[in-house]
Amino acid sequence: MIREGVKVDCGIKPMDDATSITGEWFRMDTFAKGKFHGVVRGQTDGESCTMGVYEATDATGSDEQILGAVVTFTQGSKINLGQVTCDTVAADDTLILTPYYFNGEGTLTAGTALTFTASTAETIASREFDQSGTDTACGTSLAACINDATYGVPGLLASADTGVVTLSCTEPGGGDRQVTPADNGTGAFDITESDAATLVVVDLIQMADFEVYVQDMDRDDDFTHIGARFASVDTGNYVFAVLERAMAGYGAVGQAVTATDTSA
């Protein structure tokens, strides 16, 4: 089972009330690899934050020093779930969506950037959505343009509710690794608005990971633990990280969970 070979822990607890937070320190002397998987929610126009991974000599974080470079989460860049709120959208306001697909090696590759423009009438073939009515009607029109089989965004799904348009991948996580979306959806997408006051974009899920190989740690100076830290977080945004550690060979690991079960 996966749980017998990969140990999963909460690397950084979920929080939305601090600009910087450091997780606990986890031992690596019995593991070959470790991967921190960071998740950010709530960033809006112009916001960003970072996640750094560090090594230390014990479980209290003594003598910490950074491993590699920090990972930056930039609003609107390769997000997995997003939200657009229509708020008195003006004619000629635009929303640009760029889907990303997996190539044959599992790397995200940018697709075609598509621009949707607010207009006084809906013309799907021109990617123009109707802003002349209520915010609710505007959101419905925008979603219809994005979802169109011919002129919409391949691999993205838009759902509108009272002027709020939620954008998701048709296959969460991107499905199979494909050069083109086919029936597998996108892996992520960029989103750029021309006016952040009228098309209010919020990143609901944005992820990044950082992998540590035990041979790259400063073992000569007894660095045995790793930890992660979020920094430059805008107040009110949610962040957390999960740590996966894998052993050098097959063997059972202990999971510190409240319950466990299988599909068998």
Per-residue pLDDT tens over the stretch 53-85: 999 999 999 999 999 999 999 999 999 999 999
Contact 197, 88 (CB under 8 A): no
Average confidence score pLDDT of the chain: 91
**194 Rama class: left (phi>0) / alpha (psi -120 to 50) / beta:** alpha
> For domain 2-73+207-246, which architecture applies?
Sandwich (2.60)
Per-residue pLDDT tens over the stretch 161-191: 999 999 999 888 765 555 455 455 578 999 9
Strand 48-56, strand 71-74: pairing? antiparallel
Which residues, in sequence order, are bridge partners of residue 49? 73
- Nearest one of 91, 88, 149, 83 to 116, comparing CA atoms: 91
Of the given ranges (98-107, 172-181, 183-192, 219-228), which has the lowest mean pLDDT? 172-181
The C-alpha atoms of residue 113 and residue 117 are separated, in whole angstroms, by 13
pLDDT reported for residue 248: 58
* pLDDT class of 2 with cuts at 50, 70, 90: confident
CATH 2.60.120 domain range(s) in the chain? 2-73+207-246
Distant-in-sequence, close-in-space partners of 51: CB < 8 Å, separation ≥ 6: 36, 38, 70, 71, 73, 208, 210, 228, 229, 230, 231, 239, 241
pLDDT reported for residue 105: 64
* pLDDT class of 151 with cuts at 50, 70, 90: very high
Of the given ranges (103-117, 130-144, 202-216), which has the lowest mean pLDDT? 103-117
Say if residue 181 is exposed, middle or buried (CB neighbours under 10 Å; 0-12, 13-18, 19+).
buried
Prediction pTM value: 0.89
- Judge whether residue 249 has pLDDT over 80: no
Strand 48-56, strand 6-15: pairing? unpaired
